[in-house]
Amino acid sequence: MSVKASISITDRQDEFARQLVADGQYSSISAVVQRGLELVRSEEEREAAELAALQAFFTERANGRFVAADEGRRRTEDMIAAKARAQGI
């Protein structure tokens, strides 16, 4: 279903849209605007999904087991030493 809407665009946007139509990339200026709105919608959905994933990650980390800095440092040093031994360094 299509809905008619009146929009205002800058002269530069109008020129760009008309060039896309003239080049045959889109059938009309409406098609250019529709594509632009779909790109914005897609970007908004992607950003929302990324934010939700980050929030879930940080919530999981906040509710998870924490390691003291000294313990983390020791584990890291042990891991590096084990890798070095494995590679004969």
The structural domains of the chain, with segments of one domain joined by +, span 11-86
- The answer to whether 21 touches 28, Cβ cutoff 8 Å, is yes
Q: Is the pLDDT of residue 38 over 90?
A: yes
Positions of E strands within 21-71: none
For CA atoms 47, 48, 53, 56, give the dihedral sign. positive
pTM greater than 0.85 (yes/no): no
Can you tell me the distance from the alpha carbon of 89 to that of 81, in angstroms, rounded to the nearest whole number?
9
Length of the chain counted residue by residue: 89
Residue with tokens 């590679």: 87
Closest listed residue to residue 73, CA positions, set 62, 81, 65: 81
Q: Is the pLDDT of residue 1 over 90?
A: no
Write down the pLDDT at residue 52.
98
Give residues with Cβ within 8 angstroms of 31, minimum separation 6: 21
Q: Which residue has the higher pLDDT, 1 or 13?
A: 13
